[in-house]
């Protein structure tokens, strides 16, 4: 954001406060990224019509964990159902545990082919 835009948005706010906020926001990029080093493991089974899987993502620096399970079921070559769930957790102060989204789930139906 440029200075002119900050001046328009910060009407009535002392300049020292505005520039102090800009300076503080730039400091975040100098901090260590705790999610940079990760460990990812995935285990899956490739069956004929049912394909389950489980994946774990760990961030050793802060002790965060993301666990994802999913399953696909193919009724035919053209019709497939999939479902998945994800849970975020880990140590009390890990980035993933403090995430605003603690869990997710989704379901989908895929049809591929001609209707006629």
- Per residue in 37-72, pLDDT (tens digit) is 889 999 999 888 899 999 999 998 889 999 999 999
Task: Give 100's pLDDT tier (boundaries 50, 70, 90).
Answer: confident
Most confident of 7-11, 34-38, 53-57: 53-57
Could you tell me which of 59, 79, 81 has the C-alpha nearest to residue 70?
81
**What is the reported pLDDT for 61?**
85
Following DSSP, what letter does each residue of 72-96 receive, concatenated? EEESSSSEEEEEEEEEEEESTT-TT
Average pLDDT, the chain: 82
Q: What percent of the chain has pLDDT over 90?
A: 42
CB of 71 closer than 8 Å to CB of 61 = no
Residue 92 has pLDDT above 70, yes or no: yes
């Amino acid at each position: 954001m440029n200075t002119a835009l900050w001046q328009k948005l910060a009407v009535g706010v002392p300049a020292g406060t505005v520039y102090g906020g800009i300076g503080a926001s730039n400091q975040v990029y100098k901090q260590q990224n705790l999610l940079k080093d990760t460990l990812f493991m995935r285990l899956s089974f490739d069956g004929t019509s049912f394909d389950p899987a489980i994946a774990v993502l760990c961030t050793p620096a802060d002790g965060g964990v993301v666990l994802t399970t999913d399953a696909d079921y193919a009724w035919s070559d053209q019709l497939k159902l999939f479902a998945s769930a994800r849970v975020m957790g880990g140590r009390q102060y890990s980035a993933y545990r403090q995430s605003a989204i603690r869990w997710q789930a989704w379901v989908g139906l895929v049809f591929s082919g001609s209707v006629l």
